[in-house]
């Protein structure tokens, strides 16, 4: 204990994009009519004209913001930057009840999150800059379960990418995660 000011180190996150950016982004929102909620996010588009392929980022378990921020790291922001620099548009959005999105995350289950993603896809199909034949999903963790759920129910999805999707039953994952979190916390 001390009367001195608490030193809080700044985090060096060199992977986060720095200005000037070779793309533009806009704050967007779209409705999920099935749940009567408004979802808010960021659409990033390469500079120039034309129609671009696009991916929707699908977050993992737990309430996530559009960057899937954890411990100061923003993996969805970093991935979005890389993809857009390479000509692929990206839509990432706050989970229901998180950030600027309405709704109640605690009352939602996987099919609800899938309907949120489908609403994002429907919104993208209204955009003139989007190549409607090249809409994909990138799902992380639980998003790796949600993305195939969406893709299996529509012809709108031309590809999916799964990052750290589940390979064992959810009950085993939750038990393992609880044990690891407890161990990390001492």
**141-150 pLDDT, tens digit each:** 999 999 999 9
Cα–Cα distance measured from residue 7 to residue 152, given in angstroms and rounded to the nearest whole number: 51
Domain architecture of the chain: domains with CATH: 23-184 (3.40.50.1820)
Confidence of residue 13 (pLDDT cuts 50, 70, 90): low
The pLDDT value given to residue 107:
96
What is the distance between the terminal CA atoms of the chain, rounded to a whole angstrom? 22
The pLDDT value given to residue 63:
96
User: How much of the chain exceeds pLDDT 70, in percent?
Assistant: 98
What are the strands of the beta sheet with 159-163, ordered from one edge?
23-32, 37-46, 89-93, 52-58, 130-140, 159-163
Of 135 and 3, the structure prediction assigns the larger pLDDT to 135
The pLDDT value given to residue 49:
87
Instruction: Tell me how many degrees the CA angle 143-164-106 measures, rounded to the nearest 5.
Output: 35
Q: DSSP 3-state assignment of 184?
A: helix
């Amino acid at each position: 204990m001390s009367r001195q000011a608490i030193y809080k180190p700044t985090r060096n996150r060199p992977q986060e994009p720095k200005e000037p950016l070779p793309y533009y982004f806009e704050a967007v929102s779209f409705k999920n009519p099935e749940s009567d909620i408004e979802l808010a996010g960021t659409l990033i588009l390469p500079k120039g004209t034309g129609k671009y392929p696009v991916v929707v980022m699908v977050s993992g378990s737990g309430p996530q913001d559009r960057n899937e921020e954890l411990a100061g790291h923003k993996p969805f922001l970093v991935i979005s930057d890389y993809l857009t620099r390479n000509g692929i548009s990206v839509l990432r959005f706050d989970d229901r009840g998180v950030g600027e999105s309405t709704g109640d995350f605690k009352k939602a289950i996987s099919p609800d999150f899938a309907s949120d993603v489908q609403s994002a896809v429907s919104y993208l199909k209204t955009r003139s800059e989007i190549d409607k034949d090249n809409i994909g999903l990138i799902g992380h963790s639980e998003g790796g379960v949600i993305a195939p759920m969406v893709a299996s129910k529509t012809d709108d999805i031309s590809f999916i990418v799964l990052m750290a999707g589940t390979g064992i039953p959810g009950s085993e994952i939750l038990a393992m995660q609880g044990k690891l979190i407890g161990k990390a916390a001492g």
